[in-house]
Amino acid sequence: MPLSEEQLAKNFADIAPPLTNDAALVDANKCLFCHDAPCTIACPTHIDVPAFIKKIASGNLRGSARVILDANPFGHSCARACPVEVLCEGACVLNDRDEQPIKIALLQRHATDYVLEHKLRLFQPGPSTGKRVAVVGAGPAGLSSRPA
């Protein structure tokens, strides 16, 4: 028997709801913008976490998303799927003060949702070099790798 629309909506609803703009501003302003940024070191794609959070704190969501997506083209998906409790949020220094870590994933989602919802194009292709490339595997690792 097919599921009702109500059940389908429930099954596909977000487990963690997105942050409101005010909640994102409050959390972004709790960040200490650590110089050594253990959150960035813990991120497999080394997103500059304090840089993107600082841009959210100053209302620059477009710039924030650019920092995220420049390091990780899958930043929008990773904001939802990464095991942040053992990566960036697990490394946040606020844990050492028995405080809640910065909501890095939800902030990342806040910025990347903004550019998608507003259909903003952040990057332009460079001039053609006449060369061709092949992505071996074509999975997330291959697609988000930079040429050496």
Answer whether 68's CB lies under 8 Å from 15's CB.
Answer: no
Q: Is 39 in the site for ligand SF4 (CB under 6 A)?
A: yes
d(CA 29, CA 17): 20
Q: Rounded to the nearest whole angstrom, what is the least distance from the CB of residue 95 to ligand SF4 in the complex?
A: 8
Size of the site for ligand SF4 (CB under 6 A): 14
Q: Is 104 in the site for ligand SF4 (CB under 6 A)?
A: yes
Q: Is 102 in the site for ligand SF4 (CB under 6 A)?
A: yes
How many helices (H) and strands (E) the chain has is answered by 9, 0
Query: Burial of 31 by CB count in 10 Å (0-12 exposed, 13-18 middle, 19+ buried)?
Result: buried
**Nearer to ligand SF4 (CB atom), residue 95 or residue 144:** 95
Q: Is 43 in the site for ligand SF4 (CB under 6 A)?
A: no
Among 23, 25, 38, 140, binds ligand SF4 (CB under 6 A): 38
**Could you give the C-alpha distances from 117 to 60, 61, 76, 112, 113, in angstroms and in order?**
15, 12, 12, 9, 6
Q: Rounded to the nearest whole angstrom, what is the least distance from the CB of residue 38 to ligand SF4 in the complex?
A: 5
| Residues binding ligand SF4 (CB under 6 A) | 31-34, 37-39, 49-50, 92-94, 102, 104
